[in-house]
């Protein structure tokens, strides 16, 4: 059992990449720690009266209910507890703040359960909350798919013409298994929205697929921050302004999201990435440098000995490793867009910037495919791929520092704008 650290915290398993301590610190409570627990450790841990308040995550949202002397009416109705508060007599009272967080997430994305045929993936503790809130908020129907139960994942095809809203209440697609999804939004003929409760990565494969089909999505970070705000109020007994959700969420998003640079070989991505590292204090990862490190030889030698296909394989491996990082500057090689499988890991945690420079000004030094190549022809083939992948284009027509400043300015404004939409959505 983990040693006592602070009177407040989060229990669950696993917890390695949770950002809950940072959120609660921003909410005014620095005495908050992660307590990863095995099932057999829960009883003794909850008996420690030094622990005053806990959040509960996968897989214990129903497990903790028998240890509560009382339940808040909402938690009792839902059958899932994600917040525990020590009462004056030493007993635990269970609450559900996930319902508040879920409603804020839906509202911020312009989604609603009202009138929808809802398909819930998973039947764990957070699924209980989704089912209850969907019913309370007027869903036309709610169907749950799970590994066992009335409907299994094998039954998915029968819901392709029926479901209008999908909610993923499973860990499928969560880091470190990013790239996985249980259902393909493209196969649903009436789908109007996707709600993803995962927040790491920021854009799961499910979300990316939905967006490629023009289907609105809600991401899990809003729910995480909103439910934490409601839990912090229960821990402290004081009201916290609703606008703290957007304030904290935008900072968390900005700190966690990668800045990804793509563009033609020789367009200046490396020097702009270095300038961004100096400007922001972020770590810079260059996929070409990572390939050299993994292969133990320079890139021209890889091409000479093994050909482009082997280089592209190594590049995809480097992209997947780097794409799983958070809060970095990621500099890619010019040909990264030539393999479609690179798009998902680059998008999962990153905003993607295309660095643009006139073809005549592109450097050829140290670039095997640029040596003697017709760069105009290469640009004609690759430019549609860059534009399809990029979120924003940045002209490299002054100094690297100028281009870096333009990237950073756009990145900060974009983070604020996403949460400004949440603020304008309001809270009930």
How far is it, in rounded angstroms, from Cα 416 to Cα 420? Answer: 6
Strands (E), 21-128: 32-36, 53-56, 70-71, 83-86, 92-95, 117-121
Taking the CA atoms of the chain, what radius of gyration do you get in angstroms? Answer: 24
Specify the 3-state DSSP secondary structure of 354. strand
Q: Is 261 helix (H, G, I), strand (E, B) or coil?
A: strand
Terminal-residue alpha carbon distance, the chain = 40
User: What are the backbone angles phi and psi of residue 411, rounded to the nearest 5°?
Assistant: -60, -45
Of the listed 5, 61, 293, 351, which one is catalytic? Answer: 61
Say if CB 208 and CB 347 are below 8 A apart: yes
Closest by CA position to 82, among listed 121, 129, 132: 129
Closest to 424 measured CA to CA, from 54, 107, 134: 107
* Sheet with strand 217-218: strands edge to edge: 141-145, 117-121, 165-168, 193-196, 217-218
Active site (annotated) includes residue 93: no
Cβ atoms of 329 and 261 closer than 8 Å? yes
Which residue numbers are catalytic? 61
């Amino acid at each position: 059992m983990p040693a006592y650290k602070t009177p407040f915290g989060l229990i669950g398993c696993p917890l390695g990449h949770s950002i809950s301590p940072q959120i609660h610190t921003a909410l005014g409570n620095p005495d908050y720690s992660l307590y990863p627990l095995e099932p057999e450790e829960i009883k003794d841990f909850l008996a420690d009266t030094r622990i005053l308040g806990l959040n509960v995550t996968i897989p214990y949202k129903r497990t903790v209910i028998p240890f509560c002397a009382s339940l808040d009416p909402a938690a009792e109705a839902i059958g899932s507890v994600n917040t525990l508060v020590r009462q004056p007599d030493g007993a635990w009272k269970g609450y559900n703040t996930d319902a508040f967080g879920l409603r804020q997430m839906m509202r911020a994305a312009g989604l609603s359960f009202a009138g929808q045929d809802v398909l819930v993936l998973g039947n764990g503790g957070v699924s209980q909350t989704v089912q209850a809130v969907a019913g309370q908020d007027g869903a036309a129907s709610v169907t749950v798919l799970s590994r066992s139960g009335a409907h299994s994942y094998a039954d998915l095809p029968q819901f392709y013409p029926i479901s209008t809203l999908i909610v993923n209440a499973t860990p499928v697609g969560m880091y470190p298994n990013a790239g996985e999804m249980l259902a393909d939004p493209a196969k649903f003929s009436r789908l109007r929205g996707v709600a993803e409760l995962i927040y790491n990565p920021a854009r799961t494969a499910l979300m990316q697929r939905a967006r490629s089909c023009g289907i609105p999505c809600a991401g899990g970070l809003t729910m995480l921050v909103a439910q934490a705000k409601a839990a912090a109020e229960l821990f402290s007994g004081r009201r916290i302004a609703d606008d703290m959700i957007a304030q904290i969420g935008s900072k968390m998003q900005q700190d966690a999201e990668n800045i990804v640079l793509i563009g033609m070989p020789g367009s200046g991505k490396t020097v702009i990435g270095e300038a961004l590292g100096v400007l922001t204090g972020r770590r810079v990862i260059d996929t070409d440098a990572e390939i050299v490190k993994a292969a133990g030889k320079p890139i021209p030698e890889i091409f000479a000995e093994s050909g482009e296909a082997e280089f592209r394989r190594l590049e995809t491996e480097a992209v997947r490793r780097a794409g799983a990082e958070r809060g970095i500057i990621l500099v890619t090689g010019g040909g990264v867009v030539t393999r479609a499988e690179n798009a998902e890991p680059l998008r999962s945690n990153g905003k993607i910037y295309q660095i643009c420079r006139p073809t005549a000004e592109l450097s050829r030094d140290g670039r095997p495919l640029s040596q003697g190549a017709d760069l105009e022809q290469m640009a004609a083939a690759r430019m549609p791929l860059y534009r399809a992948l990029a979120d924003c284009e940045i002209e490299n027509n002054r100094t690297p520092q100028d281009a870096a400043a333009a990237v950073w300015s756009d990145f900060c404004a974009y983070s604020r704008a996403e949460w400004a939409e949440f603020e304008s959505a309001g809270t009930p």
